[in-house]
Amino acid sequence: MGTDRDATVCLLTTGGTIGSIYDPAIESLRPGLSVKVLLQSLPKGLRHVNVITREIFQLDSANAQPHHWQEIATAIKKTHDEFPDLDGIVITHGTDTMVYSASAVSFMVQDFGKPIVFTGAQIPLHIPWSDGPRNLLDAIRVAAFADLGETCIVFNGEIHRPTRTKKMRSDAYDAFDSVDPSPLGTLGRDIVLFERRTQRHNLVPRFDTRLDERVFLLKVFPGLPPEVLSRIVDMGYHGVVIEGFGTGNIPTQEKSLTGSIQQAVSQGCFIVISSQCAFGQTDLSIYAVGRAAMEVGAMSAYDMTSEAALVKLSWILGHTRDPMRVREMMMTDYVGEMPILAGEVAVEKAE
């Protein structure tokens, strides 16, 4: 998309560091900047871009819950209905849980055909060296002009697919990394986009915010009592993503998890095994300790991140609890969350 006409972008704000102020009463940062102040941090008179503004809520993203994901998706639908000719949408959000929220929006708003861009900052706007103005300007630029038709995270000059992204650094400017394959694109003098992205299109968007919030993320560690999983099921959780070691390995001898997994599955709880590693993928067939989980009914997350697996399972269970259908949907690549199954990544295995 060129700049031969003015573009129109909607800026939706949700709080986060980019919208935070220092509150002397509590001697710490809290969300508080209006969307008007955010725009004032940018160059006056954005060339070729008209910005419509809406405030969804003011929230530290550590306080974000699944219903906030639904509120963001609902706001996107309302904006689309009100301004169908928008070129893109920008959402400011805290970095702590941005990957979760942006991944959820990826599933809940499919075939949008235009960029839905999440961005934020590591340093508040009132500090002179804040990264907020640059990230916000880059996000508006992508939303207005990039040939991109999917949800993304724009941060530190890179464009990431949320379901393939992790927050890797707590306070550095380059907070996010894409985990196999590379980012969707980069920002410099030009917007450089890679071929595997979804391009702009005119399909009818699908909005579906159904979620099951009763999904748990459990990290395996040496000494984890297996009865913890049973307690989680007894608490009424319908799904559990277990972060195993390496390629998805779990204890099978002392403090074995296999019995608890089998019991959970028999009680109608869906178990997905992911990896604690940032790079690589889950493969339960390599080691006996991984195959044991598969043999008692656990599903593999393959190359999904734990964050994407949690959000996806929550989204799936919001639609069905039928075991065959859940397995089928977990094995389906919807928004690029499983590039191996989508054929985007070639995997070589040693014989």
Q: Is 95 domain-assigned?
A: yes
Query: Is residue 40 located within the same domain as residue 170?
Result: yes
What are the residues whose beta carbons fall under 8 Å from the beta carbon of 18, sequence distance 6 or more?
Answer: 33, 38, 92, 94, 119, 120, 121, 124, 125, 130, 132, 135, 136
Query: Is residue 59 located within the same domain as residue 163?
Result: yes
In this prediction, residue 26 carries a pLDDT of 84
Domain boundary among 207, 228, 258: 207
Judge whether 198 counts as a catalytic residue.
no
- Residues 69, 103: Cα–Cα separation, whole Å: 9
Query: Is residue 116 located within the same domain as residue 236?
Result: no
Tell me: the pLDDT tens digits for 117-168? 999 999 998 889 999 999 999 999 999 999 999 999 999 999 999 999 999 9
Q: Is 348 domain-assigned?
A: no
In this prediction, residue 340 carries a pLDDT of 79
Judge whether 23 counts as a catalytic residue.
no
Tell me: the pLDDT tens digits for 284-333? 999 999 999 999 999 999 999 999 999 999 999 999 999 999 999 999 99
Number of independent structural domains in the chain: 2
In this prediction, residue 141 carries a pLDDT of 96
Query: Is residue 19 located within the same domain as residue 117?
Result: yes
DSSP per position, 212-229? ---EEEEE--TT--THHH
In this prediction, residue 3 carries a pLDDT of 47
Judge whether 95 counts as a catalytic residue.
yes
Token representation of residue 100: 């979760």
Token representation of residue 332: 């389906």
Q: Is 340 domain-assigned?
A: no
Query: Is residue 74 located within the same domain as residue 187?
Result: yes
In this prediction, residue 345 carries a pLDDT of 52
Beta-carbon neighbour count of residue 227 at 10 Å? 12
List the domain range (segments joined by +) for residue 31: 7-207
Domain boundary among 146, 173, 207: 207
Residue 299 sits in a domain of what CATH number?
3.40.50.40
CB 109 within 8 A of CB 206: yes
Q: Is 92 domain-assigned?
A: yes
Distances (CA, A) of 76 to 108, 116, 117, 184: 10, 9, 11, 22
Set 14, 17, 119, 282: catalytic member: 17
Query: Is residue 198 located within the same domain as residue 104?
Result: yes
Buried-state track 124-143, b at ≥16 Cβ within 10 A, e below 16: bbeeeebbbbbbbbbbbbbb
Set 78, 111, 147, 167: catalytic member: 167
Residue 52 sits in a domain of what CATH number?
3.40.50.1170
Query: Is residue 80 located within the same domain as residue 127?
Result: yes
Query: Is residue 178 located within the same domain as residue 243?
Result: no
In this prediction, residue 348 carries a pLDDT of 40
Q: Is 140 domain-assigned?
A: yes
Set 87, 96, 138, 303: catalytic member: 96
In this prediction, residue 201 carries a pLDDT of 96
Q: Which residues of the chain have pLDDT under 70?
A: 1-4, 45, 342-351
Query: Is residue 203 located within the same domain as residue 219?
Result: no
Query: Is residue 165 located within the same domain as residue 80?
Result: yes
Query: Is residue 270 located within the same domain as residue 223?
Result: yes
Buried-state track 11-21, b at ≥16 Cβ within 10 A, e below 16: bbbbbbbbbbe
User: Can you say whether residue 327 is alpha, beta or left, with left for phi > 0 and alpha for psi between -120 and 50 degrees?
Assistant: alpha
Query: Is residue 240 located within the same domain as residue 192?
Result: no
Cis ω on the peptide bond leading into residue 251 (within 30° of 0)? no
